[in-house]
Amino acid sequence: MLRELGAEVREVRTAADLDGLDGLVMPGGESTTMSLGIEREQLAEPLRDFVARGRPVLGTCAGLIMLDREHLGLMDTLAQRNAFGRQLHSFEADVELPNIGTFHAVFIRAPWIAEHGPAVEVLAEVDGHPVAARQGPMLVVSFHPELTGDNRLHEAFLEQIRRSRAAGAA
């Protein structure tokens, strides 16, 4: 989706892959598997450095889990995995996102944010539970914005990257 919007993208599997990146997507998938990969490649510190330099991060679903207190510890959040119930593995819902409006969201064994500190701004909720939030340069959503044809969230992320690059250059 980012490529369709004109961005040059690459997969990050090792710390060297982070070099020169302006932004990072922590994707959906399986947070246990991602934790093992991060451990194997000793990626935790390089990822923390990346965020400390103010580079924008978009975390989706398992990516939201990876950024929380119990994983990379980059956001003051505690994610609850598979929060919408085991039998309800996936569902779709319209959520209201600031600056974007109504967004049709696809949830797949999605987490929600069970706890968060004051630095975290909640952007959207489903059934009273946060499913989108921001803290500094990090934007997390518990759904999969790449699974619909709607690219507005990715466009907003690229816009954030452009602003962050302009601020860095200034």
Residues labelled as active-site residues: 61, 144, 146
Out of 100, 108, 122, 147, point to the residue binding ligand GLN (CB under 6 A): 108
Residues in CB range of 130: below 8 A, 6 or more apart: 112, 113, 116, 122, 123, 124
Q: Is residue 129 near ligand GLN by the rule CB under 6 A?
A: no
**Residue 7 or 108 having the CB closest to ligand GLN:** 108
* Residue 21 DSSP one-character state: -
Annotate each residue in 29-68 with x if it binds ligand GLN (CB under 6 A) or - if it does not, as one string.
xxx-----------------------------xx--x---
**Residue 50 or 143 having the CB closest to ligand GLN:** 143
**Residue 23 or 111 having the CB closest to ligand GLN:** 111
Q: Is residue 135 near ligand GLN by the rule CB under 6 A?
A: no
Question: What is the sign, positive or negative, of the torsion defined by CA atoms of 166, 100, 29, 31?
Answer: positive
Q: Is residue 72 near ligand GLN by the rule CB under 6 A?
A: no
**Residue 82 or 102 having the CB closest to ligand GLN:** 82
Q: Is residue 95 near ligand GLN by the rule CB under 6 A?
A: no
- Radius of gyration of the chain from Cα atoms? 15
Q: Which residues pair with 32 in a beta bridge?
A: none
Tell me the DSSP string of 4-19: TTT-------SGGGGT
Tell me the DSSP string of 149-170: S--HHHHHHHHHHHHHHHHHH-
Q: For binding to ligand GLN (CB under 6 A), which residues are involved?
A: 28-31, 61-62, 65, 81-82, 108-109
